[in-house]
Structure 1
Amino acid sequence: MASSNSQENNPIAITCHRLNGNNYVEWSQYVKIFLSGRERYGYVTGATKEPASTAANYASWVRDDNQVMSWLLNSMQPDINKNFLLYTTYTSIWEAAKETYSSSNNISELFRLEGQAFSLKQEGMNVTLYYHTLNSICQQLDLHENI
């Protein structure tokens, strides 16, 4: 059995939904859930601020920020993550990815999702699958609203 320390040093797949340029909303939710479970959600909300470079906790903040940056970059497709390698903090990567890939104002994406919801028919699906498919579309629409 591996110790938790060795587990922390191994690469962690934070989501199976890697950012591919078209799935920002879902990807960002998976990242937020993962970071919250690792007590690093403050990096997303801005609650975890960079201390002064002379502060006693500066080195641990840099270590934690780099760890979160690594998780974030590893959750992106290689052709996307290379665009963020020169950013120096997790927050700068997060904001740049949001600005670049967020489709909250993407009318065509919203139109596509609404079209899917309105045209979905149960046809050969059992009730449970139909419900979950429709619910998934509605959740994606909600996520667009929240962003």
Structure 2
Amino acid sequence: MLLFNVRLNGKNYCLWSFQMRRFLMGRKLWGYIDGYVPQPKNENGRSDWLVIDSSIMIWIMNSVAPKIGHNFTYKSNTKALWDYLRKIYSQANTARLYTLEHKSMKTQQRDSSIQDYFNTLSYILNEMDSMEIEPPNEVVTKARNRSRLFHFLMGLRSEFESMSASILHRTPPPPLDDCLSNLLVEETRLSCFEVSNPHHKMSLM
């Protein structure tokens, strides 16, 4: 039974591992993968541990393509299985991550609306986030969000420069979602102004 809508096929390890990690964390079972819940030495505890560990292994096996599952025969526990999958398949996503990074840097508003530009950029950045092997800590998340705010503002058309400058002068920088809300209001205001002042619009061309 597939637990979620992503099955590991050898090319989507980061997205698959992200969903599997969240799935196990939601059931308080991630400790079996990262070694925080080691196999007990006493017989009774060991028996219960093996039942849970075996269940996790079955979940993982059912969430990968058959050609990948055939290589699981000699993996003794879920940690060994997870480490194997990470070693074999995580490196295959490096090229994809590079492509997404390059694509994100080239993404600009141009003729799009602010909302469409934001959606396009967010889709790329969200895929990049899903490729992280481990969740970033608070410091990394804060720095990344600030960098992405700058990235988003730099991609806007020139008529939004004054609004972008105003946002950048705030300390600390506001969340990207708040900036989007303000920019959508400004976009609407400029559109209304152009409709009521067509000669002004022509003078800017």
TM-score by length of 1: 0.76
Determine if the alignment matches structure 1 residue 21 to structure 2 residue 10: yes
Q: 1:136 aligns with which of 123, 126, 135?
A: 123
* Equivalent-residue separation in structure 1 for 2:91 and 2:51 (angstroms): 31
* Equivalent-residue separation in structure 1 for 2:84 and 2:27 (angstroms): 22
Equivalent position of 1:84 in the other structure: 72
30 and 144 in structure 1: CA distance in 2 versus 1, 3 angstrom threshold: closer
Give 1:112 shift.
1.1
Q: 1:62 aligns with which of 33, 42, 50?
A: 50
Q: Which runs of 5+ in 2 are unaligned?
A: 135-205
Q: Is the helix fraction higher in 1 or 2?
A: 2
Aligned length: 134
Q: Which amino acid aligns with 2:48?
A: S
**For each residue in 1:75-98, what CA deviation from the matched residue of structure 2 results, as whole angstroms up to 9, or x when unmatched?**
101111111133110001000000
Bigger shift: residues 128-137 or 26-35: 128-137
Determine if the alignment matches structure 1 residue 33 to structure 2 residue 22: yes
Q: Which amino acid aligns with 1:138?
A: L
After TM superposition, list the pairs within 5 Å mapping 1:90-105 onto structure 2: 90-103=78-91
Higher alpha-carbon Rg? 2
* Equivalent-residue separation in structure 2 for 1:118 and 1:104 (angstroms): 22
* Equivalent-residue separation in structure 2 for 1:126 and 1:82 (angstroms): 48
Q: 2:105 aligns with which of 118, 128, 132?
A: 118
76 and 123 in structure 1: CA distance in 2 versus 1, 3 angstrom threshold: farther
Give 1:124 shift.
8.9
1:104 and 1:144 in contact (8 A); partners too: no
Give 1:32 shift.
0.6
**For each residue in 1:28-67, what CA deviation from the matched residue of structure 2 results, as whole angstroms up to 9, or x when unmatched?**
1100111111221111221110112x43211111110000
Q: Which amino acid aligns with 2:23?
A: F
Q: Percent identity?
A: 30
TM-score by length of 2: 0.56
Matched position secondary structure for 1:47: coil
Q: Which has the higher contact order (CA 8 A, sep 6+)?
A: 1
Matched position secondary structure for 2:121: helix
